[in-house]
Amino acid sequence: MVGAGVLSDDLEVGTIKFHKGIIHANVNLTSDNTIDKNDPSYSLSLFGTLDNTIDHDFRPFHLNMRSIYDVGANFAKDADFRINPDSYSLKNVFLMYPFGKQRKLLNNFAFYIRGDLNTHFWDEYTQFPDKKNYIKYNTDGKEIERLMDQEDIRAKVALYPLKLKEGGGLTYRINFSPKSSLSLRGGYGWQQDLNNQAFSYEKNTVEDGVSYDVYREDPNKYNRGIETTVIFSLVNFLSFFSLNSSIDALFPIEESEVMPRIENENQINLRLYRNVSLEFKLKLEYDESLKPWWVYNYTSYLRMSLFY
Choose between 96 and 256: higher pLDDT: 96
- Looking at residue 2, its pLDDT comes to 38
Which of 8-22, 55-69, 86-100, 135-149 has the lowest average pLDDT? 8-22
- Looking at residue 159, its pLDDT comes to 95
CB distance 305 to 272 below 8 Å: no
Burial of 205 per CB tally in 10 Å (0-12, 13-18, 19+): exposed
Q: pLDDT grade, residue 13 (50/70/90)?
A: very low
Instruction: State residue 254 phi and psi, 5-degree precision.
Output: -65, 145
The chain-wide mean pLDDT, for the chain, equals 86
Q: Which residues of 19-54 are buried (b: 16+ CB within 10 A; e: fewer)?
A: ebebebbbebebebbebeeeeebebbbebebebbbe
| Structural domains for the chain | 19-122+166-189+227-307 (2.40.230)
- Percent of the chain beyond pLDDT 90? 54
User: Which H or E run includes 148?
Assistant: strand 143-156
Q: How confident is the model over 236-282, as pLDDT tens digits? A: 888 899 999 999 999 998 766 668 899 999 999 999 988 899 989 99
- Whether the per-residue pLDDT at 77 is higher than 70: the answer is no
Cα separation, 286 vs 289, in Å, equals: 9
Q: pLDDT grade, residue 6 (50/70/90)?
A: very low
- Whether the per-residue pLDDT at 43 is higher than 80: the answer is no
